[in-house]
Homo-oligomer: A and B are copies of this chain.
Amino acid sequence: MFSQSMYQLGAKRSCIRELFEYGLRQAKVVGPENVFDFSIGNPSIPSPPAVGEAFTSLLIQEDPLTLHGYTPASGCEEARQAVAEDLTCRSGMTIRPQNLFFTCGAAPALISVIRALGVEEAEVVAFAPYFPEYRPFVESCGVRFVAVPADRETFLLPIGELEAYLTPHTQALIVNSPNNPSGVIYPRENLQALSELLERKSREYGHPIYIISDEPYRELVYDGAEVPFLPAIYPNTVICYSWSKSLSLPGERIGYVCVPDCAADSEELFSAVAGAARTTGHVCAPSLQQWVVGLCTAQRPDLEAYDRNRKDLYEGLTEMGYRCVRPQGAFYLFVQAPGGSAQAFSDRAKEKNLLVVPGDDFGCPDYFRLSTCVAHETIVGSLPIFRELIAEF
């Protein structure tokens, strides 16, 4: 006498979480130095010092009734103003506070946008490899989830193949760059080709197709790579952002939806996002966290440790013969499974206390994901085991 679909969603453990918790248990048995856990994307560098200072100075200086009080559903004025100015400055496009709706992180931001676009028979497209939660997010809004297979050579957006997956019911595409799990950043030309196709198809179907740009890794970029500002390339873009990764605040649940003025029916869509948020129980994003991010728009993560991990693991693995696109952003490597089955590879690796996530739920069952936000010793210690494994498969 309760919803079976909700029960299934709650009872089915995420493969990532299961591996992570297995790792914690196993560490107690064999010692943490003998477990090489690449499962979870939990930032391993602390927040910039200014973030901690913002928290404490607000708590000391601000009136607690203001600091902890309800803010408007869309967020407190000061924080929206600060973030709008920062976005305007970085993008060269005018973003107003009224374009921003603060949320409890990127997950409810995505769901609010998808639900806002959830008309009868709606479809939302995602590109493999994709963040596994996209599927339950989309399907729980009563929307059809359409997965476009990956271009395994490059993991770029496969524009040529995409058209076959678009229909008059296509309401939106989710674009996630820098990408989880591949670490790929879609270059400007790739996004321009996407924009041209979507403009043509929007005209053909007689309604806008939106891009939902999921950008939690926007600031986690290496080698000076460019992350193009999508609304400047394709106006019908809605941004979903979170400070989880950029300020190492994943537990604090603070992010936003940005519906820029250039998006079709911008104001109405913003209202629909606000209405959809209300149906998720959104009242406001945590107020203290709103004030903090408003003070910290200039802060950037210290990427040195992630970059070193990325290079050493990428180079170590490719030298052994593993195949993997060199990541330019985020903190993941997506590696082709020797032998073809990531599940089999992951199972065998687990026996050697090496924890890697099979790519099945990412839409690529022949790849596994490595999260590189780990201690550097984990990288060093894991390489001999990777060498044993590639010899076995």
Chain A residues within CB distance 8 Å of chain B:
1-3, 5-11, 40, 42-44, 46-47, 52, 55-56, 59-60, 63-65, 67-71, 103-105, 107-112, 115-119, 133, 136-137, 140, 171, 207-208, 248-254, 265, 268-290
Contacts and interface: CB of A to CB of B under 8 A. Distances in A.
Contact of A272 (B6, B67, B69): B6
Q: Is the interface of A mostly helix, strand, loop or mixed?
A: helix
A274 B108 contact: no
Contacts of A289: 286, 288
A7 B272 contact: yes
B279 A136 contact: yes
Contact of A68 (B5, B115, B249, B265): B249
Given A6-B116, A10-B273, A10-B275, 5 more contacts: A6-B279, A55-B55, A68-B248, A251-B286, A253-B285
A11 B273 CA distance: 10
B65 A284 contact: no
Contacts of A254: 286
Contacts of A285: 253
Nearest to A142: B142
A212 to B, nearest CB: 13
Contact of A117 (B3, B107, B282, B284): B3
A278 B136 contact: yes
A307 B276 CA distance: 37
Q: Which of A3, A269, A280 has the most CB of B within 10 A?
A: A3
A45 to B, nearest CB: 8
Given A3-B119, A9-B275, A64 B44 contact: no
